[in-house]
Amino acid sequence: MKIFSIDDPNDLYYPLDKETYNDPAVYYHGTSKQFSTSIEENGFHLKKVYDQTDVSNLYNAFSAPYFKTVDFEEMDYQKEDLTWAIGGASNSISFTRDYWFARSYSVNPGGESIEKIVKICEFFSKLPDCPFQGLAEKCLKKYGPIFENHVPCVYVVRLPDHECKNIKIRDKNYQVHNNVSNESIIARIDFSREIKKWFTGRHGDPQFRWSEN
């Protein structure tokens, strides 16, 4: 496995070679370096880094009478913000053909689900007389360090043949419903913590390091 370190937060160039970029079996997964030891030793697993019970408790909290009787002019979060964490994220692993999409996804501290869990718990902690402040405190103690110590990275993965057979040519993003071996990992790309989200098509054309000649 190759390791690339990109220290410039404004560096948007594709760091690998043209052959890798053009390989239809190559996909990318944006995550946090805190999970690198597990990923590189055991591969990508459907088991999540958060407790599904915690997510369910936070999700169900929004249905409590407290949120129906207290008049909040504008709530920062809704239970729908946890929909992916409580649903699709529990039985799949997300990959994308777009390196820059994975790079942008890696910005989410600890991953999208961890970020939502922490932000919702911080929201609960600020609400007056909220009966779920104890739940929020417990979750913040558990997931806060993952959120705070986040360092973005992207894994470059050549998906197994049996997965590639299920992918349609037009599919840019793909949900894998099986564990993916660490032998599928080609490279890890480490970024500065200061990188910002950037999407191809929305902010410009892809940028490459290699010569087109």
Which tens digits make up the pLDDT trace of 110-142?
888 899 999 999 999 988 899 999 999 999 999
One domain for residues 34 and 102: yes
What is the torsion angle, in degrees rounded to the nearest 10, for the CA atoms of residue 113, residue 21, residue 211 and residue 152?
A: 20
Q: Which residues of 200-211 are buried (b: 16+ CB within 10 A; e: fewer)?
A: eeeeeeeeeeee
Domain closes at, from 133, 149, 165 = 149
Q: Label residue 73 by pLDDT band (50, 70, 90).
A: low
From CA 2, how far away is CA 11, in angstroms rounded?
19
pTM summary value: 0.86
One domain for residues 28 and 87: no
pLDDT-above-90 percentage for the chain: 59
Contact between 82 and 59 under an 8 Å Cβ cutoff? The reply is yes
Q: Is the pLDDT of residue 206 over 90?
A: no
Q: Is the pLDDT of residue 164 over 90?
A: no
Overall number of domains in the chain: 2
Q: Label residue 213 by pLDDT band (50, 70, 90).
A: very low
One domain for residues 128 and 66: yes
One domain for residues 170 and 206: yes
What residue type is assigned to position 198 of the chain? W
Question: Across residues 171-188, what is the average pLDDT?
Answer: 88
One domain for residues 83 and 181: no
Q: Is the pLDDT of residue 143 over 50?
A: yes
Mean pLDDT is lowest, of 73-77, 86-90, 147-151, for 86-90
One domain for residues 121 and 196: no
One domain for residues 61 and 84: yes
One domain for residues 100 and 188: yes
From CA 42, how far away is CA 27, in angstroms rounded?
18
Question: Across residues 172-201, what is the average pLDDT?
Answer: 90
Residue with tokens 């959120």: 147
The pLDDT value given to residue 67: 85
Q: 93: helix, coil or strand?
A: strand
Contact between 208 and 24 under an 8 Å Cβ cutoff? The reply is no
One domain for residues 26 and 63: no
Phi (first) and psi of residue 164, to 5 degrees: -60, -30
The pLDDT value given to residue 85: 81
Q: Label residue 89 by pLDDT band (50, 70, 90).
A: low
Give the structural domain span for 6: 1-46+93-111+151-213
* H-state helical runs in the chain: 18-22, 36-42, 52-61, 65-69, 83-86, 99-105, 112-126, 133-148, 161-164
The pLDDT value given to residue 80: 82
Q: Label residue 39 by pLDDT band (50, 70, 90).
A: very high
From CA 78, how far away is CA 60, in angstroms rounded?
11
In whole numbers, what is the pLDDT of the chain averaged over residues?
88
* Residue 164 zone, left/alpha/beta (φ > 0; ψ -120 to 50; rest): alpha
Strands 2-6 and 93-96: what pairing?
Answer: unpaired
The pLDDT value given to residue 95: 93
Q: Which among 21, 30, 25 has a CA at the least distance from the CA of 190? A: 30
How much of the chain is helix, strand and coil, in % rounded to 5? 40, 20, 40
Domain closes at, from 128, 149, 170 = 149
pLDDT-above-70 percentage for the chain: 91
The pLDDT value given to residue 81: 84
The pLDDT value given to residue 82: 87
- Which CATH number goes with the domain that contains 199? 3.20.170.30
One domain for residues 105 and 8: yes
